[in-house]
Amino acid sequence: MRKLLEHKGVVSEVGEEVVEVEFVTETACSGCKAKGLCGVEEGDKRFVTVWEPNAQYFAVGEEVMIGVSEVMGMKAAVYAYIIPFFILVGGLFATSLLHWSELTRGLSSLGVMCLYYVGLWLMRSRIEKEIVFKIRKLI
């Protein structure tokens, strides 16, 4: 069985086949010198929508565990961090070969990054089907 990356959360809303869970991010980087630069702040409240056919068995305010497989977590990290990094570096490299000014290089690379994130946003329904969260009650 694949290992799950899990967080403890509280059910904030229950729908017909959907459970929305609020959780507080906890980081393991309290001693990290780059703490706060990666975009994950300890204590941030996040919401996750979990598609659950048995949603009626969950109640608002109930503590639950939400999880995603390590493979799915890695896929999300690739979409959010790895691909944009290569787009940015590739854009800077390509525009430097064209001997564009530094300002033009930077702006065009950022423009391509914006296009990537717009494309990612447009494909969100497909990505939501790929990255599936699991929910379970705390015993």
Query: pLDDT per residue over 46-92, tens digit each?
Result: 888 888 888 889 999 999 998 888 888 888 889 989 999 999 999 99
What pLDDT does 34 receive? 47
Residue reference for tokens 């959780």: 23
Cβ atoms of 22 and 75 closer than 8 Å? no
Q: Which of 21, 24, 73 lies closest to 48, judged by CA? A: 21
What pLDDT does 3 receive? 75
What pLDDT does 26 receive? 63
Instruction: Write the pLDDT tens digit of every residue in 3-19.
Output: 777 888 999 999 888 89
pLDDT at 40 over 70: no
**DSSP assigned state of 8:** E
- Range of lowest pLDDT (28-37, 71-80, 103-112): 28-37
Domain definitions of the chain by residue range: 4-137
For residues 8 and 52, give the distance between their C-alpha atoms in angstroms, rounded to a whole number: 17
pLDDT at 122 over 90: yes
Q: Is 93 helix (H, G, I), strand (E, B) or coil?
A: helix
Specify the higher pLDDT residue, 41 or 135. 135
What pLDDT does 2 receive? 63
